[in-house]
Amino acid sequence: MAEVIPGIYQLKLPLPVPHTSLGYVNTYLVRGDDGYLLVDTGWNTGEAFTSLQKQLAEIDVDIKDITQIVVTHIHPDHYGLSGRLKQMSRAKLLLHRLDKNLIKSRYVNMDKLLRQTNQWLQSNGVPPDELSELRTASVGMAKYVATESPDITLSGGETITTGVFSFQVLWTPGHSPGHICLYEPDRKILISGDHVLTTITPNVGLHPQSSENPLGDYVNSLNKISQLDVDLILPGHETPFTGLQARIEQTLQHHELRNKEILATLAAGPKTAYQIVKDMSWQSDTGNAGWQNLPPVHKRLAILEILSHLKAMIIDGRVDKSFRDGVIFYRQT
């Protein structure tokens, strides 16, 4: 464990074996006057829990000393353990309103979401023999999430004060509808969740629970934080880094390159989103995997990611869509 700046510790929690592509999730422990604030929590696994306890013990902190838990977004690697920690510590849990609204449909009763996802994938050209595998790809994740409702529902614009730190809550939708970052203007620190990462780019997908134009939201959210005076970024994965503007610029360029790659696959004529993803390049843990070698959960993320690009390009006029037998086809305008 590292004290990244005086009063803020970076803890690394392991991710479950089937989901190792990111290695670990960072949680940040902030020292207050009367207890600690924890930002993000890791998956609800025995391994992550033991690892958290062990790292806290290194600085003589107990789970019961945590008085506030801020979750940057609803994904299992950030929200998963929060329910269990809250029950043990009686800490107050803080989460954005839009992600709070997804707790039940994602992790408690998934039937409606599964039906919607099935329809979504089918209308985007996923063939029947792959449909069931892709539809249920993330069902297993629910067991790694101890759900608990937030005590304080955030909207963005709040200030969370603890010890010498005063964090501004910045609503940064895109990767998740209710994603937030925490900005400490005096110390010039940004706790960025999955919004900006050191070398990788977060998945931004269009799906039944996303906003109308998540990639557009994501780009706006990047622009929103690009003018902040920041010396150090504390991301949800990988390592803390400097140079926020440059990293945002690279991330924006990456998305524009993906747009161009999608347009290139449409040069030969209209395609479904499923046909487009098969023509694209895909990276996985083992390098350039190619579509067929991606695990089902990544295949689904890939389709949703392409859809978010297509939606953004419909809005800016580069692409349009038409229906044929209930299936959506995209083409260059």
Under the criterion CB under 5 A, does residue 40 sit at the interface with Zn ion? no
3-state secondary structure string across 101-114: CCHHHHHHCCHHHH
User: How many residues lie near Zn ion (CB under 5 A)?
Assistant: 4
Cβ count near 63 (within 10 Å) = 18
Structure tokens at 3: 């004290």
Residues 6+ apart with CB under 8 A from 17: none
Min dist CB 322 to Zn ion, Å, is: 33
Residue 99 or residue 194: which is nearer to Zn ion going by CB? 194
290-309 binders of Zn ion (CB under 5 A): none
Beta carbons of 21 and 34 less than 8 angstroms apart: no
Under the criterion CB under 5 A, does residue 77 sit at the interface with Zn ion? yes
Binding residue for Zn ion, selected from 148, 184, 194, 217, defined by CB under 5 A = 194
Residue where the block lists tokens 């869509």: 321
Residues 6+ apart with CB under 8 A from 117: 135, 207, 208
Residue 13 or residue 61: which is nearer to Zn ion going by CB? 13
Under the criterion CB under 5 A, does residue 75 sit at the interface with Zn ion? yes
126-145 binders of Zn ion (CB under 5 A): none
Which range in 68-76, 138-146, 163-171, 294-302 contacts Zn ion by CB under 5 A? 68-76
Min dist CB 76 to Zn ion, Å, is: 9
Residue 75 or residue 271: which is nearer to Zn ion going by CB? 75
Residue 175 or residue 278: which is nearer to Zn ion going by CB? 175
Bridge partners, 39 (sequence order):
28, 70
Beta carbons of 79 and 95 less than 8 angstroms apart: yes
The binding site for Zn ion (CB under 5 A) comprises 75, 77, 194, 236
